[in-house]
């Protein structure tokens, strides 16, 4: 936990909901939520594999760009502007399954990243996009279950991530059109 708690702001319902989630912990749910919250290396491998194959290259580059945009805008900029405390900073007595993060809470960087990727996939391929959105939703929920984010952090992460995914889709689409026009002319 950082020296400065930042802005201590939350709604009562958020804390009640997080405490409810703490009451339903069990070994099976714990394992599932830990898998989703720690899935970064698997996602990185999937992005790299998708870039290698021509059929999935566009989606791979969209995911890479969406992830980059989300990282820069959310984790490197927005969190430092808003400086919202995390629930685990406010209640250090809650037993955590993960280390309490040192970065500020709002919006959820994990959730933004999950939804940036899922949206980028969905916009190009609904067949892969729907499971990606389900995966992203479970990843987002894991952040609440693990007591490291407020529900409004996660909701804002969903919205900001979707925006990053749309932005990456539009940028890659524009670049593809530019290269097609250059190759035709």
Report pTM. 0.91
110 is catalytic: yes
Beta-carbon count within 10 A of 93 CB: 5
pLDDT in tens, 84-136: 999 999 999 999 999 999 999 999 999 999 999 999 999 999 999 999 999 99
pLDDT in tens, 38-81: 999 999 999 999 999 999 999 999 999 999 999 999 989 999 89
Q: Residue 43: name the closest of 109, 117, 101, 107 by CA.
A: 117
Q: What are phi and psi of 14, to 5 degrees?
A: -65, -45
H-helix or E-strand spanning residue 88? helix 87-90
Locate the DSSP E strands across the chain: none
Q: Which residues contact 150 (CB under 8 A, 6 or more apart)?
A: 10, 14, 18, 84, 86, 87, 105, 106
83: left (phi over 0), alpha (psi -120 to 50) or beta: left
User: How far is residue 10's CA from residue 52's CA, in Å, rounded to a whole number?
Assistant: 44
Cis (ω within 30 of 0) for the bond into 139?
no
């Amino acid at each position: 936990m950082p020296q400065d708690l930042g802005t201590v702001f939350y709604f009562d319902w958020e804390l009640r909901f997080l405490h409810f989630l703490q009451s339903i912990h069990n070994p099976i749910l714990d394992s599932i939520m830990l898998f989703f919250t720690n899935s970064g290396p698997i996602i990185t491998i999937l992005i790299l594999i998708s870039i290698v194959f021509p059929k999935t290259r566009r989606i791979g580059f969209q995911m890479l760009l969406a992830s980059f945009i989300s990282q820069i805008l959310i984790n490197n900029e927005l969190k430092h502007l808003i400086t919202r405390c995390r629930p685990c900073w406010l209640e250090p007595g809650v037993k955590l399954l993960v280390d309490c993060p040192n970065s500020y809470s709002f919006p959820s960087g994990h959730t933004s990243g999950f939804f940036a990727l899922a949206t980028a996939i969905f916009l190009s391929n609904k067949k892969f996009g729907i499971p990606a959105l389900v995966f992203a939703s479970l990843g987002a929920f894991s952040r609440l279950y693990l007591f490291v984010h407020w529900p409004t952090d996660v909701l804002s992460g969903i919205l900001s991530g979707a925006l990053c995914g749309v932005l990456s889709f539009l940028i890659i689409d524009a670049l593809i059109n530019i290269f097609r026009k250059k190759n035709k002319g």
